[in-house]
Amino acid sequence: MDADAFWLFDLVGEDIAFWLGYLTNGKHLNWYASFRFTIMAAVFGGCLALVFGLLGAMAKASRFTALRAIGTIYVSMVRGVPDVLFFLFFPLAFEQGVEWVWAMQVCTPDTIAATQANWPPCGEANWLLSTNEYLVLACVSLGIIFGAFTANVIHGAMRAVPQGQLEAARAYGMSDFQVLTRIHIRQMWVYALPGLSNVWLLLIKATSLLSLLQIADIVWWAGQLGSPNFLPQAGLVHGDWRWAYFIALFVFYILITLLSEKGFSRLTTWARRGMPVEG
């Protein structure tokens, strides 16, 4: 091997060693670990959205006027409020609500009167939330927001089930509960899954808002790692590399989208089992 080949081999080896060291430093390991926040928010937020959606759809379809009103108000109000606004409002309102209730227990009237301009009214009532607690509030917020969209999708899917099949089930002697659980909900999924897939993808995109709740998520870390980096002893380490980190996030979300589409395709095939093939 000649001298030029040795020089090229050493240069490539140095580049590989540099990038391995750079991509495995402490900050990058924290970035990789922060992906779990996005996955957890999506999974648990999606589960809560399905629960809220089912409850909201049943409320809208209820024979009781009060339940119908509650379901309609929930679906209409939450869908009409911008996602970002509600995502910020609910955790803040919940946190301050807990602090207010706790302040009534631990703060004296004199302390409350002396600190009217401050919040919470006294230091003992201050509730300092950790990342995990903010993550729980984020999951609940996502569940409430996208539960309204899910309720609308499920309500429409319930109405799309042919009435003749429901009447046939009643003619066979099934009770209303049996018709609901064995026929109505069973066939509803065929009509609901296309809409639910859209809601799921919207929820996935909304997980990029976690940094608004003081959670060091993948978007926050990408901005931090990609910003121009300076060291006193070495000067400029790298320039503005945020474009590269955000491209990595684009790829991540695209992969999640592709996997989700395959998953919903399998769910649709499962939901259609035993049903007559159209055409």
Which of 60-64, 177-181, 202-206: highest mean pLDDT?
Answer: 202-206
The more confident residue out of 161 and 115 is 161
21 C-beta neighbours (distance < 10 Å), count: 10
pLDDT at 3 over 70: no
pLDDT at 244 over 80: yes
The more confident residue out of 61 and 195 is 195
C-alpha span between 201 and 255 (Å, rounded): 12
C-alpha distances (whole Å) from 105 to each of 63, 112, 122, 126 are 42, 12, 11, 12
C-alpha distances (whole Å) from 28 to each of 32, 211, 263 are 6, 17, 30
- Asked whether 217 and 225 are in contact (CB, 8 A), the reply is no
Q: Tell me, what's the pLDDT at 27?
A: 82
pLDDT tens digits, 215-232 = 889 999 888 888 876 655
pLDDT at 15 over 80: no
Q: pTM of this prediction?
A: 0.83
Q: What percent of the chain has pLDDT over 90?
A: 32
Backbone φ, ψ for residue 235 (5° rounding): 75, -140
pLDDT tens digits, 131-143 = 888 999 999 999 9
Q: Tell me, what's the pLDDT at 236?
A: 53
